[in-house]
Amino acid sequence: MPLNADTIVAAATPPGRGGVGIVRISGPHAAVIARALMGRLPEARYATHSRFLASDGEAIDAGLALYFPAPHSYTGEDVLELQGHGGPVLVEALIARAVELGGRRAQPGEFTQRAYLNDRIDLAQAEAVADLIDAGSEAAARAALRSLQGEFSARVRALDEALAQLRAHVEATIDFPTDEIDHLADGALAARLTDVRGQCAALQATARQGRMLTEGLTVVIAGAPNAGKSTLLNRLAGHEVAIVTAVPGTTRDVLRERILIEGVPVLLLDTAGLRDSQDLIETEGMRRAREAMAQADRVLFLVDAAADPQAAAFAGERAQLPAGVPVTLVWNKCDLREPRLPAGVAEAGAAGAADARATAELRHLAVSAKTGAGLDALRSHLLEAAGFQRQDSGLLSARRRHLEALGVTSTHLDAAAVQCRANGEGELVAEELRAAQRALGEITGAGTADELLGRIFASFCIGK
Ligand SMILES: Nc1nc2c(ncn2[C@@H]2O[C@H](COP(=O)(O)OP(=O)(O)OP(=O)(O)O)[C@@H](O)[C@H]2O)c(=O)[nH]1
Ligand SMILES: [Mg+2]
């Protein structure tokens, strides 16, 4: 029984001219529309050549029709696909005719939304459809296809199942409370909880990789004027994106360039050099640079190793860098002068004891944006620092939303473990496990709010 009473219509091929233009129709009226357009209902799942008729009986176009009766179709409803010639006028005329016959124009992602609502796919798979279409590299496309085929969802469901069993175990201790303490402290429960947390951590690692492939990384190049930021951007991009001159303060706006590193999309941002300035335009440029840094997955702080061998520019700027955004100190122009690593870095960055942890975490690299020396190491560093592990197979696409849900799941599992170790109340352990399961369910769509669903599908293209 279809959930929707109306029948939706949209072009499934992109706007413009092409060899073929496909119009897709889904809903209870699809068969009626097919009969009116072609004079008969095409045989299910067979390519049928036919004319597509206007209301006056004249042909709008001729092509192939494919009819998929419910529930064996993409949306789970009756679906009619018309493959005509790929001219925008023809495609629009077919859509208008289908609307005249009782259809309505589809919203973005509405076909996939119906597939989700009719249980053809879960929410993570629906998102993988969009990620597959938007894939920026072959690796990202392969990962999205695996997720679309349900590999990611299967991992989520396996964790969900393990969690459900664990809950049953804990809830039994509540229902039969005679020796509750023993139950909670018992090694079997602790071992199962450890196992589930391990499963959750492994899935988080997978999702982190997947998110990187689908959503990519944002890396901001910052530093003093003339450090070579724009030269580095041009080098990594492989073409002249930014103006490079020997004049400090050349770059004012934030420049964006998308590159691929081993299939991972990386959005590189070149920014205005940071220095004390009264110039209005330059000050605005610096404000934008700081704003970009705050949004970044990583900041590459460039230092001119020849002009600033102590990295004074970094020491001066460090306190103002956004907290929580990891920074790599990149010594540029090492063709002119070899930087002193790593002691020089520690010295330059030493801003007191409170900074000791950050200093230890600070990564540093030597490059020459001019000659290209050290750039392979820089590329590898960007992926490795983000936690990307090279692997040829098994990558699955995932989104920030999934990672957040797994983060909440993991927090509740940690809390359950704390309760368990402290021989706490069985109810409290059970409550944490319930909350963990609820968060996990959001990935595949169990109990997902309509507002979130609306947001997810609105980002799709029309006709998908
Ligand atoms: N020798 C040498 N020169 C470099 C290197 N990288 C950049 N330069 C030179 O340094 C000068 C400044 O380079 P830019 O890339 O414009 O520097 P920037 O950091 O973008 O400067 P602003 O936009 O002013 O903040 C230019 O003359 C570059 O040719 C390098 O690795 N080695
Ligand atoms: Mg520049």
Q: What is the pLDDT along the chain (464 residues), one digit of tens a residue?
A: 445 689 999 999 999 999 999 999 999 999 999 999 999 999 999 999 999 999 999 999 999 999 999 999 999 999 999 999 999 999 999 999 999 999 999 999 999 999 999 999 999 999 999 999 999 888 899 999 999 999 999 999 999 999 999 998 888 877 766 654 455 556 788 889 999 999 999 999 999 889 988 888 999 999 999 999 999 999 999 999 999 999 999 999 999 999 999 889 999 999 999 999 889 999 999 999 999 999 999 999 999 999 999 999 999 999 999 988 999 999 999 999 988 765 544 333 333 333 334 444 688 999 999 999 999 999 999 998 888 877 667 889 999 999 999 999 999 999 999 988 887 778 899 999 999 999 999 999 987 778 878 888 888 888 88
- 285 in ligand 1 pocket by Cβ < 6 Å? no
Contact assessment for residue 242 and residue 274, using Cβ atoms and an 8 Å cutoff: no
Contact assessment for residue 28 and residue 2, using Cβ atoms and an 8 Å cutoff: yes
Dist CA 221 CA 218 (whole Å): 10
Which ligand places an atom closest to the C-alpha of 232? 1
Please report how many Cα atoms fall inside a 13 Å half-sphere around the Cα of residue 439, on the Cβ side.
Answer: 21
Q: Which residue has the tokens 């495609």?
A: 91
- 369 in ligand 1 pocket by Cβ < 6 Å? yes
Instruction: Kindly list the distances between the CA atom of residue 180 and the CA atoms of 172, 174, 175, in Å, as whole numbers in the listed order.
Output: 9, 7, 9
Phi-psi region of 33 (alpha: psi -120 to 50; beta: other; left: phi over 0): alpha
CATH class of 130-212+397-458: mainly alpha
> CA-based angle 64:66:68, to the nearest 5?
175
Alpha carbon nearest to ligand 1 atom 21, residue:
226
- 248 in ligand 1 pocket by Cβ < 6 Å? yes
How far apart are the CA of 307 and the centre of ligand 1, in A? 11
Mutate to test the pocket of ligand 1, among 226, 229, 247, 253 (most ligand atoms within 8 A of CB): 226
Q: Which atom of ligand 1 is nearest to the CA of 270?
A: 20
Burial class (CB in 10 A: 0-12, 13-18, 19+), 462: middle
How far apart are the CA of 57 and the centre of ligand 1, in A? 69
The number of beta carbons lying within 10 Å of the beta carbon of residue 325 is 15
Largest distance between two CA atoms of the chain: 84
- 234 in ligand 1 pocket by Cβ < 6 Å? no
Q: What is the pLDDT of residue 190?
A: 86
Dist CA 264 CA 249 (whole Å): 31
Boundaries of every domain in the chain:
7-121, 130-212+397-458, 220-385
- 333 in ligand 1 pocket by Cβ < 6 Å? yes
Domain 7-121 fold:
Gyrase A; domain 2 (3.30.1360)
Burial class (CB in 10 A: 0-12, 13-18, 19+), 404: middle
Q: Which atom of ligand 1 is nearest to the CA of 332?
A: 31
Architecture of domain 220-385: 3-Layer(aba) Sandwich (3.40)
Q: Which atom of ligand 1 is nearest to the CA of 233?
A: 15
